[in-house]
Amino acid sequence: MKDRGHAAARLTTLLLATLLALPSAARAQAVVAGAAGRAPVVRVPVIAAPAYQPSPALGGAAALPLGAAGLPQVPDWSLDARQMKEAYKAAEVRMLRTADAVAAIPAESRTFENTALALERAESDFQDAMLPLRFLSEVSPDAKVRRMADAIERRTSRMFQSYGDRSDLHRAYQEVAAKGLELGGLEKKLLDDALRGFERRGMNLPRESRDKLNRISRRLSDLSQQFSRNVSGIFEGIEVTREQLDGLPEDYVKGLEAAPEGRYRVTLDYPTFFPFMKYAKDAALRKELYLKFENKAAEANLPILGETLALRREESLLLGRQDFAHLVIEERMAKTPEKVKTFLERIKDLLKGPAEAEYQALLETKRQDDPAAESVPGWDRSYYANKLKQKLFSFDSEEVRQYFPVEQVIKGTLEVYQELLGVRFRELASDAWHKDARLFEVIDAASGRSVAYFYLDLHPRENKYGHAAQFTLRKGRALPDGSYQKPVGAVVANFSKPTPDKPALLTLGEVETLFHELGHCMHETLTQVKLGSYAGASVAWDFVETPSQMMENFVWQPEVLRRISGHYQDPSRKLPEELLKKMVAARNFLAATSHLWNAALAAVDLAYHTLTGPFDPAAVYREVFEAFGLKVIEPGTHPEAAFDHIMGGYAAGYYGYIWSEVYAQDIFSVFKKAGVLSPEVGMRYRKAILERGSSVDEGRLLRDFLGREPDEKAFLEGMGIKTSPRARRPGFAWYKPWTWFGFLLKS
What CA–CA distance (Å, rounded) separates 211 from 216?
9
User: Is residue 513 within 8 Å of 481, Cβ to Cβ?
Assistant: no
User: Could you tell me how many residues make up the chain?
Assistant: 747
What CA–CA distance (Å, rounded) separates 454 from 472?
9
The three-class DSSP label of residue 407 is helix
Closest CA to 316 of 731, 651, 594: 651
Q: How many CB atoms lie within 10 A of CB 354?
A: 19
The three-class DSSP label of residue 363 is helix
709 classed as catalytic: no
Which member of 517, 552, 661, 698 is catalytic? 517
User: Is residue 665 within 8 Å of 553, Cβ to Cβ?
Assistant: yes
Q: Which amino acid is at 501?
A: D
Judging by DSSP bridges, how do beta strands 488-492 and 450-457 pair with one another?
parallel
442-459 burial: b if 16+ Cβ within 10 Å, else e: bbbeeeeebbbbbbbbbb
* Cα–Cα distance list, 211 to 96, 201, 220, 327, 740 (Å): 21, 11, 14, 19, 38
User: Is residue 224 within 8 Å of 251, Cβ to Cβ?
Assistant: no
Contacts 24+ apart (CB under 8 A), 700-706: 701/543, 702/663, 702/666, 702/667, 705/667, 705/670, 706/666, 706/667, 706/670
What CA–CA distance (Å, rounded) separates 126 from 140?
21
| Cβ partners under 8 Å of residue 292, min gap 6 | 236, 237, 238, 268
What CA–CA distance (Å, rounded) separates 386 from 485?
47
What CA–CA distance (Å, rounded) separates 343 from 321?
22
Closest CA to 331 of 22, 738, 716, 744: 22
Question: For the packed helices 143-163 and 81-103, what is the interaxial angle rounded to 10 degrees?
Answer: 10
- Total H helices, total E strands in the chain: 29, 10
The three-class DSSP label of residue 123 is helix
Tell me which residues are annotated as active site: 517
